[in-house]
Amino acid sequence: MFNEKSNILKKVFLPKDTGSHLCSNLEWWYCFAFLDGNAGSKYAVVISFFNVGYIPFLKGRYLIFSLINLKDNSRKNFSFLNKNLVCNLNSMFIPYYLLHCTLNKKLWRIYQDYIKLNISPDQLMEPTLIEKDPTRLIYRENSLEFIDEKSGQFNVHIKEQGLDINLIFTPTKPAALIGGDGKPDELYYYSFTNNEVHGSIVKNNLEENVSGSGWFDHQWGFSKGLIIKTGWNWFGLQLDDGRELVINEFRSIKTGKTFSPLANLIEKDGSLKFTTNVCIKPRSFWKSPDTGVVYPQNWSILIPEFSMNVKISPNFPEQEMPVVFPLQAIWEGACSVSVREALPNNSIKLTRGKGFMELVGYANFKCKTTE
């Protein structure tokens, strides 16, 4: 049986939980949008602000974002981190790996580079600031600022290297507490899965007004194994009939085995139901020419309790994003979805949609003494 949101005690409280959580060692605010420009452009954009670390006053800040051109299937990736994150990597995370990979020459080179602040392809960003009441994340000239924490409306502004993205997200549904109570695993998790988005993109000194639909996630908590030992496959899907699906499973970085699948269906009125009876199977793979990492691409997902068979395909395979150690790279990109759904009257409903797919842990650093 699937579970109804109304039957479970909440563990997330809004707007109080909009801001940062000092006792968490992992926290991120994430959004994506599909945008049409008034000059005929079609874009997808994904942006994530991170606040990580074990010591509250030494939190590392990290920012990644991509602008994807859906007309010519091209994308531009950006990633920035502050000196606190470099300090955390040098004092805790890389030494942890050195304890287990003492003879690994590549790891020693990475360690020496980080000590020298040679962090390419990432770039340093200073200053960074997180404020409350209202929540404001300011990472150099880039920001995510809540206009109305009660409704979840926010403005995200990215200004880097000749690119200026300025968007306002306005939720059309209440927050979805993932897993029913907002704590499906070690992390707390809520989403605004359907947003009206409008704003502008300045690229190559040309400004274009854009509008479309978007998504927002906020996750936080304390985990020792996530990212280091455990990755995940995640799908945030917006269906054309006004519903959304949040589907994910965890994946052991060492063995590749997946576990703890979860599917959440958000109805048009914002009500949520979820199930752990999910079968997630990759149907094809793609090998990155840049990293040599093999990522699943096309997926078949069976959700019996929703009477759904979901097919997911990337808009194009070249959507790998280089990120900070130890992840090294993730696959984060736009995808299309088709859903075949059996209705109570024995008819079949076919629904299409779009969304983002996130594959984390496939490129993680692994000990090899021969390197």
Instruction: With beta carbons less than 8 A apart as the criterion, state whether 235 and 248 touch.
Output: yes
Helix (H, G, I), strand (E, B), or coil: what is residue 109?
helix
- The pLDDT of residue 3 is 56
The pLDDT, as a whole number, for residue 1 is 41
Q: Is 223 helix (H, G, I), strand (E, B) or coil?
A: coil
Q: Do 42 and 213 meet the contact criterion of CB atoms below 8 Å apart? A: no
Given this model, what pLDDT does residue 217 score?
Answer: 99
Contacts by 287-293, CB closer than 8 A, 24 or more apart = 288/320, 288/329, 290/320, 290/322, 290/329, 291/320, 291/322, 291/328, 291/329, 291/363, 293/320, 293/329, 293/362, 293/363
Alpha carbons within 13 angstroms on the beta-carbon side of residue 315 total 23
Rounded mean pLDDT for each run of 10 residues along the chain, 371 residues in total = 57 97 97 98 99 93 98 97 95 90 90 92 95 97 98 98 97 98 97 99 96 99 91 99 99 97 99 98 98 98 99 98 95 99 96 99 80 56
Integer Cα distance of 170 and 65 in angstroms: 20
Peptide bond into 134 cis (omega under 30): yes
In eight-state DSSP terms, residue 290 is T
pLDDT at 111: 92
Residue-wise burial string across 83-109, b where 16 or more C-beta atoms lie within 10 A, e elsewhere: ebbbebbeeebbeebbeebeebeebee
pTM for this model (two decimals): 0.95
Structure tokens at 18: 């909009």
Domains of the chain, first to last: 3-360 (2.40.370.10)
